[in-house]
Amino acid sequence: MMIKNTACCIGLSVALISVAMSEEKNALNVTNGDFSDLTELERRADGWYAGVPTGWTAPDPNGDTNRYAILNQSGNFVANVSTLSQIQPSFAALEQKVGELPATGEVTLTFLLEEPWHEPEFVMGVAIYDCLSSVPLAVGDFNSSGNHTLVANNVSAGTQIKIGFWRVSGFPALDDVVATFKPDK
């Protein structure tokens, strides 16, 4: 009887550790990071959609919802950061709350910048924030197409994470946004 109880306790302990590790690995989740959920967006001419993408918040200057926000590029949807953010007259990024950290660790934000559809030169600002204080945990400027990464190290357990993207200049095209968490060892 003692062996069965011990085996049961060991099995339960392994299961609980696996669940805890799984929760830490899946602590952050970007909704609609590929911008393919077009719910409540208005279809426009030439493959464009107007409105704010599902899961995201963005400024709505002067109540203008008829902006070119998402572009369908042969079945791949990209966000037009130049219309979904603003730096003037007041700063407002394309943002999303992505989760709360179960332990102290590293937050990594990966994303793809596609070729812009207007001027070839652009600069896009990116940040990982503490959602409650809006204090940036990591900030970067990106000015080339391709895959990019921004990392915030040693972020405290319990921190609520928000990510943000904004146009500094040009017409950055954003796609494939993913946020991950890795606990410190």
What DSSP assignment string belongs to 116-148?
PSS-S--EEEEEEEETTT--EEEEEEE-SSEEE
Q: Does 70 map to a domain? A: yes
Looking at the domain assignment, is residue 35 inside a domain? Answer: yes
Does 5 reside within a domain? no
Does residue 171 sit within a domain?
A: yes
Q: Is residue 22 part of a domain?
A: no
pTM over 0.95: no
Q: Both ends of the chain: CA-CA distance in Å? A: 37
What is the residue range of 116's domain? 28-183
pLDDT one digit per residue (tens) for the chain, 185 residues: 555 554 444 443 433 344 344 445 579 999 999 999 999 999 988 899 999 999 999 987 556 665 789 999 989 999 999 999 988 888 999 999 999 999 999 999 999 999 887 788 999 999 999 999 989 999 999 999 999 999 999 999 999 999 999 999 999 999 999 999 999 98
Instruction: Tell whether 19 is covered by a domain.
Output: no
Q: What is the CATH number of the domain that holds 39?
A: 2.60.120.380
Say how far apart CA 131 and CA 90 lie, in whole Å. 19
Cα 97 to Cα 123: distance, rounded to the nearest angstrom: 23
- For residue 38, is it within any domain? yes
- Is 14 within the bounds of a domain? no
Total count of domains within the chain: 1
